Amino acid sequence: MDLTSPDSSLEYADEELAAFLDHRPAGRHHLLVVTRRHIRSVTHLSGSADDTSLIRRMEALARRLLSERGADMSDVRLGFHWKLVTVGHLHLHAISPTHEMSWLQKLEFSSWILASVGETIKMLETKNS
For the chain, which domains are there? 6-127 (3.30.428.10)
Chain-centroid distance, C-alpha 80: 5
> What pLDDT band is residue 89 in, cutting at 50, 70 and 90?
confident
> What pLDDT band is residue 8 in, cutting at 50, 70 and 90?
low
- pLDDT higher than threshold 80 for residue 5: no
pTM of the model: 0.89
Helix (H, G, I), strand (E, B) or coil at 17: strand
CB contact at 8 A, 17 and 27: no
Give the span between the Cα atoms of 7 and 2, in whole angstroms: 9
Residues identified as active-site: 91
